[in-house]
Amino acid sequence: MPASATLVRLDVRTPQAFGVPRWRREPRTLPHRRRGEQADQRGPTESRRASCEPSFTTGQAGRPGKEVQKPQVHDDTDAIVRVDAVTICGTDLHILKGDVPAVTDGRILGHEAVGTVESVGSGVKTVKAGDRVLVSCITSCGTCRYCREGLGGQCLGGGGWILGHKINGTQAEYVRVPFADLSTYQVPVGVTDEEILMLADILPTGYEVGVLNGRVRPGDVVAVVGSGPVGLSAIMGSRLYSPSHVVAIDLADSRLEAAKQFGADVTVNNRSQDPLGVVRALTDGLGADVTIEAVGVPATFELAVALSRPGGRIANIGVHGEPATLHLEEQWIRNITITTGLVDAYSTPTLLRLLTAHQIDASRFITHHFGLTDVLEAYEVFGNAAATGALKVVLTR
């Protein structure tokens, strides 16, 4: 689920307009930390045992959020995970804008976390209390047709993207994770919670829905429209396949500077430059072999199509909340391939191996740190990324 880049200014209302946590105890004061500063660490035995937990919830404009009961094991395949590190996704911003109407009033948001297993149902076999786990954004039943085909995002058995969407999510002190055996991953020794957290969503999304769907090959020219966290993930993943050029396109210079660090060798600020002209100059006038759309608005989708060469591949990652136009009267003859998709998380084990072997650096996504109770400030910083320079914000205990 992609984070919005800044190719257009997002009209995002502050989280206060949608729901403000109400605390029964004073939150600990922990100002946000930028990358490089140490997070507060607590061991698995220091779990809070309160009967209620603070959380960030959606809500009617002006209505405060609420404390909720601590989740309990509901099905025998469930795990209850104490959240130790959580982040905010661009999809959460799309939800607050109203782009995902399936999210009901009062839902706890969030679909990415690293935490400590507190309890498990009787049917859970591979994780146990005390284990340190990554909670994937995709929940997989493992037995339905789509899960068997590696399409966990389309799970028919009660999974898919459900956390922070159809059931309460991870932006709280505890989360119930259904199908825990197939929806969590043991955290390897030698990597930090924050590094692993980037594998909950953005890295597999950029890799699967962008790079693999786009079939990036050696020597390709790859144009990535949007240099938010998922666009940067697509840039990083594309570099694994030795393209000749990776072109990053965005409206924010800060995001384009970040794109260079993630592997883009050409950057285009389309406030002042013509991305079509730049890409055609690199390709003898043909266009990009692969274009990856990582924003989720009509203008960027239409740009991604225009940038593609005849026979090119266009991989749409963006979460779209309104119709976009595909000019078939122009495109039918060009032999283009357009793919869309929700992440399935089948690549998570591969990315875990790459991360553990230091072949990818997930820590560079993290720009801001907050305490777990500082969620409103974190939303404000993340939602105003063009001004704050935020890529990924991490909230920890």
Whether 84 is in a domain gets the answer yes
pLDDT band of residue 1 (cuts 50, 70, 90) is: low
Number of domains in the chain: 2
Whether 4 is in a domain gets the answer no
Answer yes or no: are the C-beta atoms of 57 and 164 closer than 8 Å.
no
More confident residue, 372 or 210: 210
Residue 341 pLDDT greater than 70, yes or no:
yes
Say if residue 307 is in the same domain as residue 357.
no
Whether 1 is in a domain gets the answer no
Lowest-confidence pick of 60-64, 298-302, 342-346 = 60-64
Whether 31 is in a domain gets the answer yes
Q: In this prediction, what percent of the chain has a pLDDT beyond 70? A: 83
Last residue of a domain, one of 314, 339, 364: 339
Say if residue 149 is in the same domain as residue 251.
no
Last residue of a domain, one of 316, 339, 362: 339
CATH code of residue 118: 3.90.180.10
Say if residue 188 is in the same domain as residue 250.
no
Whether 252 is in a domain gets the answer yes
Answer yes or no: are the C-beta atoms of 81 and 139 closer than 8 Å.
no
Q: Report how far residue 374's alpha carbon sits from residue 149's, in angstroms, rounded to the nearest whole number.
A: 40
Say if residue 183 is in the same domain as residue 251.
no
What would the mean pLDDT of 41-63 be, rounded to a whole number? 42
State the pLDDT at residue 271.
Answer: 95
Q: Which residues pair with 170 in a beta bridge?
A: none
Lowest-confidence pick of 25-34, 191-200, 259-268, 271-280 = 25-34
Lowest-confidence pick of 161-165, 312-316, 373-377 = 373-377
pLDDT band of residue 69 (cuts 50, 70, 90) is: confident
Whether 7 is in a domain gets the answer no
Q: Report how far residue 292's alpha carbon sits from residue 223's, in angstroms, rounded to the nearest whole number.
A: 6
Q: Report how far residue 137's alpha carbon sits from residue 133's, in angstroms, rounded to the nearest whole number.
A: 13
Q: Using N-to-C axis directions, what is the helix angle for 229-238 and 253-262, rounded to 10°?
A: 30
Q: What is the pTM of this model?
A: 0.84
Say if residue 140 is in the same domain as residue 221.
no
Last residue of a domain, one of 315, 339, 363: 339
What would the mean pLDDT of 56-66 be, rounded to a whole number? 43
State the pLDDT at residue 11.
Answer: 28
pLDDT band of residue 163 (cuts 50, 70, 90) is: very high
In terms of C-beta density within 10 A (0-12 exposed, 13-18 middle, 19 or more buried), how is residue 383 classed? buried
Say if residue 73 is in the same domain as residue 106.
yes
Say if residue 193 is in the same domain as residue 264.
no
Domain residue limits at 286:
204-339
Say if residue 45 is in the same domain as residue 179.
yes
pLDDT in tens, 181-229: 999 999 998 899 999 999 999 999 999 999 999 999 999 999 999 999 9
The separation between CA 394 and the C-alpha centre of its own chain, rounded to angstroms, equals 12
Say if residue 314 is in the same domain as residue 191.
no
Spatial CA neighbour of 80 closest among 70, 67, 91, 90 = 70
Say if residue 68 is in the same domain as residue 158.
yes
State the pLDDT at residue 182.
Answer: 97
Say if residue 113 is in the same domain as residue 154.
yes
Residue 236 pLDDT greater than 70, yes or no:
yes
Whether 358 is in a domain gets the answer yes
State the pLDDT at residue 56.
Answer: 59
CATH code of residue 294: 3.40.50.720
Arithmetic mean of pLDDT over the chain: 87
State the pLDDT at residue 53.
Answer: 57
Q: Report how far residue 250's alpha carbon sits from residue 225's, in angstroms, rounded to the nearest whole number.
A: 7
Residue 359 pLDDT greater than 90, yes or no:
yes
Say if residue 291 is in the same domain as residue 163.
no
Whether 35 is in a domain gets the answer yes
Q: In this prediction, what percent of the chain has a pLDDT beyond 90? A: 78
What would the mean pLDDT of 49-56 be, rounded to a whole number? 49
Residue 145 pLDDT greater than 90, yes or no:
yes
